[in-house]
Each structure stands twice: as C-alpha cells, then as structure tokens.
Amino acid sequence: MKTCIFVFLLIGFKSLALNQGRQEKETLTKRSISPIDVLCKRSPDFKVLTYGKTKMCLYYGQDICTYAEAQGKCRSRNSTLAIFNTAEKFRILYPMDMVWIGLDDIANEGTYRWADGSILDLQSNLRYTIFQAGEPNAAFDFEDCVCNRCYYDYDKLYDTNCAETYNYLCEKVFR
Ligand SMILES: *[C@@H]1O[C@H](CO)[C@@H](O)[C@H](O)[C@H]1NC(C)=O
C-alpha cells in the first residue's frame, strides 16, 4: 500500500514537471524568445542583436586594442571575436565602425579563417558582400586582421595591420 502511494506521488510529480516544461516552452515560442535570448541574458555585458530572424549574442569592447589583445579579452569573457559568416549577420555588424571581428589570415597567408577555425571561401558571394571591393588584399604581408569600416571612406570589411588598435566585438555561441 505504501509503495503504491509512493509510486502515485512519483508519477504525479513527474507529470507536473513535464507540464511545466511544456508551458514554459509554449510561452517562449509565443513571445518568440529563443534559447539565445535566455542564455545570453546570463552573460553580463553581452546583448542579443538581431537582424530579421538572425540573432547574435555580442559584447562590444570599447577599450581599443590590438587584434591579439582583443582575442585575449574575448577569451577571458568565455567567448571569441565575433563571426559574421552570413549576409544577415553582416547586417548586424554593418552600423558598427572601427571594430575588430574574428577573421584573419595569420596562420596561412591568404587563407582567411573565422574565429571558430572555419575558412571564408574567397570565391563566394559572401566575400563580396562583406568586404570592401578589392579587399582583402593582404598588402605588405602584414595586413592579416579584419576590421569593419576602419578606413576613412570604407563602409565594409578590410584587412589591416593586426597591431593597429580598434574596438572589438566578442560573441558567445550556444550549442
Ligand atoms: C568562464 O567559464 C568558467 C568555467 O565555466 C567560469 O568559471 C567563469 O566564471 C566564466 N567567466 C566569465 C567571465 O563568464
């Protein structure tokens, strides 16, 4: 008899918990809050920025620094320099000038890698969407790091000297 009551209680609690989970999920969908909103809120100073359905959890570093320093600062916030590997993500970046992003050809001259190690195909439409015409040009062998709107009349990405100092954008990716 005792066991029986115990089992009933257990089943009762379990279905209660399941129901709550379901309700939470429904509320989230109704208000179109996605996991990134919830998770990003837990990271102080990071904010969700959106373009259409695309969302990114970003931190805007206002302490101007070199590319390597920016990498370290993002790492210490458990993040990487931000990755703008779609046209939609680039629209999120577009208004922000003088910022380092997570793209460089430090490891292999001429091979541009995002901060997650993936390669930007220089033959792709994306390259022409995000880079200033004629860029990246790897001028002087030391233009290895990529910055948004960092040159006086440029309004897109270009590759420049990693030792120059700019603001930077860190990104948290949730899997
Ligand atoms: C980074 O992650 C570690 C391990 O999870 C945690 O202890 C630390 O508080 C985090 N730091 C920041 C700035 O979020």
Q: Among residues 21, 87, 77, which one has the least CA distance to residue 54?
A: 87
Whether 91 is in the pocket of ligand 1, judged by its Cβ within 6 Å, is no
- Least confident segment among 21-25, 39-43, 45-49, 122-126: 21-25
Whether 78 is in the pocket of ligand 1, judged by its Cβ within 6 Å, is yes
- The DSSP bridge partners found for residue 159 are 146
Task: Please tell me the distance from the alpha carbon of residue 106 to that of residue 139, in angstroms, as a whole number.
Answer: 13
pLDDT at 31 over 90: no
pLDDT at 121 over 50: yes
First to last CA, the chain: 46
**SS3 for 107?**
coil
Whether 73 is in the pocket of ligand 1, judged by its Cβ within 6 Å, is no
Using most ligand atoms within 8 A of CB, pick from 76, 78, 79 the residue to mutate for ligand 1: 78
pLDDT at 78 over 60: yes
Cα within 13 Å of Cα(100), Cβ side: 32
Whole-model pTM: value is: 0.80
Residues of the chain with pLDDT > 90: what percent? 66
